[in-house]
Structure 1
Amino acid sequence: MSSSAATPASSAVPPGPRVCVIGAGSSGVAAAKVLHERGFDFDCFELSDRVGGNWVFGNSNGVSSSYRSLHINTSRSRMQFSDFPMPEHLPNFARHDQIAAYFDAYVDHFGFRERIAFTTGVDRVTPLDGGGFDVRLGSGETRRYDAVLVANGHHWDPRLPEPAFPGAETFTGEQMHSHHYKEESQLAGRKVVVLGMGNSAMDIAVDASYHAEETFLAHRRGVHIIPKYVWGRPYDKIGGHERIPAAVRWPVARILMRAATGPMSRYGLQDPDHRFAEAHPTMSSRVLDRLAHGAITPKPNIDRFDGPDVVFTDGSRVAADLVVHCTGYRITFPFLDKDFLDPGGDNRIRLYRRMFHPDVPGLYFIGLVQPLGAIMPIAERQSQLAADHLEGRYALPSRAAMDGEIDRYQRSLERRYVSSKRHTIQVDFDDYMRALTKERAGGARAARRGRAAAPARG
């Protein structure tokens, strides 16, 4: 792959750039909308035959992780784009098809559907010496662009336990990743072990508790489980605002959590070894109810497999028909050369403000964050910042300043969060939204200073 390190990342892409957007999921449509309304020459490539990405159940692209019972776990008012409210008739925690319909309506309302090339994948993106990119499509055609906005998502390449549990290869039951769970018929009448404590694990365990013969929830570490409603209001509407600093928000939230749920051990789960907001929290109002009613049996982590049995670390065992591994995803960019960019097994990637590649001008990542909140407003604001840079209205800082910010961010993750591959791209929704606003304003001032200092032509 050609190197472009000779071109400083802090320089804006030349005026009138031609732009490629990869993906038309929730982040890709946000990017396409911003580029469209600013008059950019751009193409958006989407492997599926429709927009919506992960929110499309049965998506033709074959990589959606949506399942029939999926609902959002952030309230719709905290998830919607700033200039296109979700319909008031929708429930606060809408269903996947309602969210997918919202993205369809968003695209049609702003009139950029014809800018999206459907059923068209991107096979390779090659940065060029001196700037720009060659983009090879699945059809074999190669097009040249000045900039690329990567919005391919990070919940599509499933990661199974690493290393595999002893005996996994000879287990006589079925094993699958939660990515491949689609509907309750996969669980019906079976003894099911769900491994994990994230949102998907909670949903699948609840589904199994109604349809399986028996349901067991295995977990390595305790987590804080947040009910979707507290005091009759969506949880994320209580104290969630950019103007409320984290130093105030999280201590209040911890008091609220203790009052709302009490210790997790009361439900038979392990108590967390960390404070609330020091790991990605789990949203579920239903799982605690099903645990309390004995419909889900909590278990410690899996130790090994033994023929038909799942053996847990406390020595107990279950003759299971199905084990569902809810063990997260790899961050993967199959269209980028691994010698150029590879998050590797630890899911780490160095990006300024979580979106700018410090070595390659014109390469932006949209929605590559794991927020304590919704990703859609974040993708919208990131896209506005990327568009500012493409127009020369925003200037990046020096390479040293970018490296310093990346290092501080990674140190902050290590200080705050428990060690996990799921916490390598973590952000607080409100704090990060405020940081993007400040970054946009500061970069705009730097761009104006740069223009003022430039010698006059004549």
Structure 2
Amino acid sequence: MSINSSPKVCVIGAGSAGIAAVKVLAERGLDVHCYELSDRVGGNWVFGNTNGVSAAYKSLHINTSRQRMEFSDFPMPAHLPDFARHDQIADYFDSYVRHFDFADRIRFRTGVLHVAPRADHGFDVTISTGETLRYDAVLVANGHHWDPRLPEPMFPGAGEFRGQLMHSHAYTEEAQLTGKRVVVLGMGNSAMDIAVDASYHAEQTYLSARSGVHVIPKYVWGRPYDRLGAAERFPSFLRWPFARRLMAAATGPMSRYGLPEPDHKFAQAHPTMSSRILDRLAHGAITPVPNIDHFDGDEVVFTDGRRVAADLVVFCTGYKISFPFFDHDFLDPSGDNRIRLYRRVFHPEVPGLYFVGLVQPLGAIMPIAERQAQLIADHLQGRYHLPSAADMDSEIAAHRRGIQRRYVASKRHTIQVDFDDYMRDLRLERERGARRPAGLSAADHPARRAAEVVAR
């Protein structure tokens, strides 16, 4: 392929990020093919997804308001609630694909088994039919909420526990909780949702906190919390002091509900959104307890010495970032959940390798994925150029230092971004890249040789 010809592009996954990428690239006239394990689009928002890896549960609703989650050129229906249900979101994604008419670019019930860079340029992509196809560029959009991470190390006595141990990824409906004595470990969004479900259906519900969090109600002053002061023109150093005072007034200290006080400021950890958990705690329907210390027979023993008999323990302990289609010696972030990407999109050493939606925003991924895809399309078409390798390394290092200064040390924060700040950064980066001269970086075009990378 000559550098000036249109590249052939593979998109892995047709979840919310993948369909954004396919739509943008198809509109630009690029030769884009998408592979999706499921029989439909939507990824984690499809309850009972046939792909076998999605994590939707029956009571799942969005935590970002629909106005902040929708694609820029396809508003969500006005009749939907501000915090819509999973099936309503999945239907929205179906409608998005139909409206822009790009379903023919997606090959359903087809997984990607292996991706390897070629010595000349591009990639060999092996799919589940056994075919190996050649592509000039690969966009990875396989998501980061599908490979469960269990406690590390596992609590002593877990192997002899007489109850059931389950990761939140395996939770689908309230029937799994009915009549049981349930311990939910974790303080993230899934933990709060499952604990609330259990409070209505289980015999007893305990919420075990490994650390304190700031719980954010979905509505403040009668409006969705994420629409107050939300705009790209307001940088985070102005936004978060205001938000901290607002949240403190809205909820009060967490200790009033029996939860541990956070050891960090609001927005220094990924937020937990729930308008229901504090109510259920206040009414005694959920008993807060500290972290698990060990298991003993059919009992869970907590760090304060308390013991409770339990039938089910649900670990809401997050996910690994995993790319099973890459060789481990090529790219394997599963140990520390870290991957070096320029602007969270471009692999700095592998021409033509891009990542879409591999961020954990204080907000929604969908508009971010759309803007990332626009940046990638510009790059594929020669309208945007990468900086030098040294400048990319410098930006990646600066981003990591910023995360270390800002956030609590945790594997869940390695891909954290502020929604508005990052959206502004992507917009400005498109403008900067349009003015840069070509050829500053070896990764500046997918048709450049990747022999050096392959040889490593």
The question of 1:325 aligning with 2:308 is answered no
Out of 21-30 and 35-44, give the one that drifted further. Answer: 35-44
Q: 2:92 aligns with which of 89, 94, 102?
A: 102
Q: 2:274 aligns with which of 284, 293, 309?
A: 284
Q: 1:304 aligns with which of 257, 282, 294?
A: 294
Structure 2 unaligned segments of length 5 or more: list them.
441-456
Structure 1 residue 344 displacement after superposition: 2.9
The question of 1:125 aligning with 2:115 is answered yes
> Which runs of structure 2 are paired with 1:238-317 in the superposition (5 Å)?
238-317=228-307
* Per-residue CA distance 1:131-180 (angstroms, 9 max, x = gap): 20000001110000000000000000000101100000000000000000
Q: 2:414 aligns with which of 409, 417, 424?
A: 424
Q: 2:63 aligns with which of 73, 78, 88?
A: 73
The question of 1:334 aligning with 2:319 is answered no
Match of 1:218 in 2: 208
The question of 1:32 aligning with 2:32 is answered no
The question of 1:230 aligning with 2:182 is answered no
Letter of the aligned partner of 1:192 in structure 2? V
The question of 1:370 aligning with 2:360 is answered yes
Letter of the aligned partner of 1:130 in structure 2? D
Letter of the aligned partner of 1:422 in structure 2? R
Q: 1:176 aligns with which of 149, 166, 185?
A: 166
Structure 1 residue 251 displacement after superposition: 0.3
SS in 2 for 1:140: coil
The question of 1:61 aligning with 2:70 is answered no
Q: What is the alpha-carbon distance in structure 1 between the residues aligned to residue 389 and residue 402 of structure 2?
A: 20
Q: What is the alpha-carbon distance in structure 1 between the residues aligned to residue 343 and residue 244 of structure 2?
A: 27
Contact persistence 2:12–2:34 (CA under 8 A):
yes
Structure 1 residue 445 displacement after superposition: 1.0
Match of 2:374 in 1: 384
Q: What is the alpha-carbon distance in structure 2 between the residues aligned to residue 123 and residue 353 of structure 1?
A: 27
Structure 1 residue 220 displacement after superposition: 1.1
Question: TM-score, with normalisation over the residues of structure 1?
Answer: 0.95
SS in 2 for 1:28: helix
The question of 1:149 aligning with 2:142 is answered no
Match of 1:441 in 2: 431
Contact persistence 1:13–1:390 (CA under 8 A):
no
Question: TM-score, with normalisation over the residues of structure 2?
Answer: 0.95
Q: What is the alpha-carbon distance in structure 1 between the residues aligned to residue 3 and residue 308 of structure 2?
A: 59
Q: In angstroms, what is the RMSD of aligned CA positions? A: 1.1
Contact persistence 1:15–1:390 (CA under 8 A):
no
Q: What is the alpha-carbon distance in structure 1 between the residues aligned to residue 126 and residue 310 of structure 2?
A: 45
Contact persistence 1:14–1:390 (CA under 8 A):
no
Structure 1 residue 431 displacement after superposition: 0.2
Structure 1 residue 447 displacement after superposition: 4.6
SS in 1 for 2:436: helix
Match of 1:93 in 2: 83
Contact persistence 2:385–2:439 (CA under 8 A):
no
Contact persistence 1:264–1:270 (CA under 8 A):
yes
Match of 1:453 in 2: none
Structure 1 residue 42 displacement after superposition: 1.3
SS in 2 for 1:32: helix
The question of 1:351 aligning with 2:332 is answered no
Letter of the aligned partner of 2:373 in structure 1? S
SS in 2 for 1:414: helix
Structure 1 residue 346 displacement after superposition: 1.1
Q: 2:104 aligns with which of 91, 106, 114?
A: 114
Structure 1 residue 130 displacement after superposition: 2.8
SS in 2 for 1:244: coil
* Per-residue CA distance 1:410-437 (angstroms, 9 max, x = gap): 0111111111000000000000000000
Q: 1:24 to 1:449 in 2, by over 3 A?
A: closer
Letter of the aligned partner of 2:379 in structure 1? H
% identity of equivalent residues: 74
Contact persistence 1:157–1:329 (CA under 8 A):
yes
Letter of the aligned partner of 1:310 in structure 2? V
Letter of the aligned partner of 1:181 in structure 2? Y
Q: 1:13 to 1:157 in 2, by over 3 A?
A: farther
SS in 2 for 1:294: coil
Q: What is the alpha-carbon distance in structure 2 between the residues aligned to residue 188 and residue 428 of structure 1?
A: 38
Structure 1 residue 15 displacement after superposition: 2.9
Structure 1 residue 13 displacement after superposition: 5.7
SS in 1 for 2:199: helix
Out of 13-22 and 366-375, give the one that drifted further. Answer: 13-22
Out of 71-80 and 125-134, give the one that drifted further. Answer: 125-134
Q: 1:193 aligns with which of 175, 183, 189?
A: 183
Q: What is the alpha-carbon distance in structure 2 between the residues aligned to residue 298 and residue 377 of structure 1?
A: 36
Match of 1:400 in 2: 390
Q: 1:110 to 1:223 in 2, by over 3 A?
A: same
Moved beyond 4 Å, runs of 4+: 447-450
Q: What is the alpha-carbon distance in structure 2 between the residues aligned to residue 403 and residue 155 of structure 1?
A: 27
Letter of the aligned partner of 1:206 in structure 2? V
Structure 1 residue 448 displacement after superposition: 7.8
SS in 1 for 2:125: strand
Letter of the aligned partner of 2:223 in structure 1? R
Letter of the aligned partner of 1:55 in structure 2? W
Q: What is the alpha-carbon distance in structure 2 between the residues aligned to residue 190 and residue 448 of structure 1?
A: 62
Letter of the aligned partner of 1:20 in structure 2? C
Q: 1:167 aligns with which of 146, 157, 176?
A: 157
